[in-house]
Structure 1
Amino acid sequence: MKKNRLLAQWLNNDLTPEELAEFEASPDFEKYKKIKHYTDHLEVADWDENAMLSNILQQPKVTPKVVPLYQKWAFRAAAIFVLALGITFALKMLVQQTETAGFGEKTIFSLPDHSEVVLNSGSEIQYKKWNWDNNRHLELKGEAYFKVAKGRRFEVQTNLGKVTVLGTQFNVKARKNSFDIVCYEGRVKVNYGNTQILLTHGQGVRFENGKQLNRKIQTSQPEWMDNEISFYQENIKSLLDEVQRQYNITIELNTKDTTALFTGKLPAHDLEVALQIISTTYHLEARKVSNHKIIFDEK
């Protein structure tokens, strides 16, 4: 009740300096301030005063009903409160929603249609809830696994290309100049530049520097969902970039030979084993400078 009274007095400029300071310090003040700003600028159409007066005089006289001032304040405060709730709801639906997974983290969340998304480390997704069922579109930076509920077209936009489905399970990875898509169920349409390709269950494709690499998939979901990092003909720089994301560490590479391609798996939960595999494969020596920095030197 005190909050409503302060709101009503504020709307009528009746607050004392002390009460005004207290009201402006409340957490909802900025919201009320915005609402007051817009309501103060509302306009009504022009009207004929003489016609209005004549019409009033012709009406039968009735005893006026007196509404106490505090009730007017309460009505106005209630109207402002309802309007505030409406604006808050609209903003929540219209404002871009963002989901992130930091380095060394994975984030699981559901979209408005109950489609499930798992974000891999160092990734971000943005989307809008408004009219989602008719416009299922989101933007991805990094890598994510999708279990899409059946419905209208579902689009995943990245800076390298677009993936379109109706209802399926698939993985999308867009890192630097590499665009990698795998279909685990249903069908997936991939657009990369002027190239369009249709993937079905067990098929994958990667575009890197304009080159297309097709492959077959034997697993039922991405290996990173089971704490493994899978690589297919990737260079050591791409490999180390992914290791840095998964373990939230910094890696420095001191070698001239970076052309050899790696196909295989690394654990995403055992750094010592991962470093040993990399060292053995590339004939390197790993030095742990700190808990968050590794240096690879040539042997």
Structure 2
Amino acid sequence: MKKNRLLAKWLNNDLSADELAEFKASPDFEKYQKIKNYTEHLEVGDFNENAMLANILNQKKETPKVIPMYKKWMFRAAAILVLALGITFAMKVFVPETQTADFGKKTTFLLPDNSEVVLNSGSELNYRRWNWDNNRNLELNGEAYFRVAKGRKFEVHTNLGKVTVLGTQFNVKARKNRFDIVCYEGRVKVNYADSQILLTHGQGVSFENGKQIKMEITSLKPEWTDNQIAFYKENIRTLLDEVERQYNITIELNSKDTISLFTGKLPANNLDVALQIISTTYHLEAKKVSKNKIILDEK
């Protein structure tokens, strides 16, 4: 009640210095200020003054109805509150929602139709709640695992290509010039450049720099969901980029061999073991120069 009284007095520029300070300290002040600034600039259209005057004079004179000033304050305060609620609702419904997973972390969440998404480290997903059941479109930057609820067409857009499904489980990774898609259940349709490929249960495909790479799938779900990083014919720089995301570290590579391809798995929860595997495979020596920086030198 006190909050509404302060709002009404503020709208009428009738607050004392102490009351104004108290009102400005409230968490909703910035929102009220924006709404007030907006409503103060609203304008009405032109009207015919002579016609309006004639209409008033021809009306039966009645005793004017006086509305107490405090009621005017309350009416205006109520109008602003309704407008604020409307703006809040519109923001939640129409503005795209963004889910992120920072380096070294994973994020699991549900979409409006209860489809489940798991974002891998260093990834971002955008979608709109509005009309979701008829327009299940998402924009992915990074890697995500989807368990899609049955319904209309479900599309995942990336900067490298598009994946379309109708209720399934699949993994999508779009990193730099590498685009990996694995279907774990149902069917998915992959669009990449001028190519279109249909994947079924247990099938996967990769594209890198415009070339298609056939994948061999041996797991029932993405390895990274079980704290393992799986690679299939990927160079050391791509491998180290993923290690940096998983452990939220920086790795400096001093090696002439950046072409040899790696196929295998690294732990995502034991940095020492991961560095040992990389060092042994590429004949490197790992040095920790700080808590978050590693240098890999040739032996």
Q: Return the TM-score normalized by structure 2.
A: 0.91
Residue pairs, 1:96-175, within 5 angstroms? 96-175=96-175
1:286 and 2:267 correspond: no
Report the AA paired with residue 213 of structure 1.
I
- More off after superposition, 236-245 vs 23-32: 23-32
Secondary structure of the residue that 1:275 maps to in structure 2?
helix
1:44–1:284 CA distance, 2 compared to 1 (3 A): closer
In 1, Cα distance between the equivalents of 2:65 and 2:252? 82
Is the contact between residue 152 and residue 166 of structure 2 (CA under 8 Å) also seen in structure 1?
A: yes
In 1, Cα distance between the equivalents of 2:235 and 2:118? 25
In 2, Cα distance between the equivalents of 1:39 and 1:274? 59
- Give per-residue Cα distances to partners, 1:150-203, cap 9 Å, x unaligned: 222222111111111121111111111101111111111111111111111111
In structure 2, runs of 5+ residues without a counterpart are none
In 1, Cα distance between the equivalents of 2:234 and 2:288? 24
Deviation at residue 81 of structure 1 after TM alignment? 1.0
Q: Which residue of structure 1 lines up, in the alignment, with residue 40 of structure 2?
A: 40
Residue pairs, 1:1-299, within 5 angstroms? 1-47=1-47, 65-299=65-299
Identity of aligned residues (%): 77
Report the AA paired with residue 268 of structure 1.
A
- Give per-residue Cα distances to partners, 1:28-70, cap 9 Å, x unaligned: 2221122223323444455555665666666666665543221
In structure 1, runs of 5+ residues without a counterpart are none
In 1, Cα distance between the equivalents of 2:140 and 2:10? 45
In 2, Cα distance between the equivalents of 1:291 and 1:48? 75
In 1, Cα distance between the equivalents of 2:215 and 2:236? 20
Report the AA paired with residue 33 of structure 1.
Q
In 2, Cα distance between the equivalents of 1:19 and 1:71? 20
In 1, Cα distance between the equivalents of 2:152 and 2:287? 51
Report the AA paired with residue 114 of structure 1.
N
In 2, Cα distance between the equivalents of 1:117 and 1:127? 12
Deviation at residue 2 of structure 1 after TM alignment? 2.3
The aligned length equals 299
Is the contact between residue 97 and residue 128 of structure 2 (CA under 8 Å) also seen in structure 1?
A: yes
Report the AA paired with residue 104 of structure 1.
G
Is the contact between residue 108 and residue 118 of structure 2 (CA under 8 Å) also seen in structure 1?
A: yes
Q: Return the TM-score normalized by structure 1.
A: 0.91
CA RMSD of aligned residues (A): 2.1
- Give per-residue Cα distances to partners, 1:74-127, cap 9 Å, x unaligned: 222122112111111111222222211111111111111111110111111122
- More off after superposition, 23-32 vs 215-224: 23-32
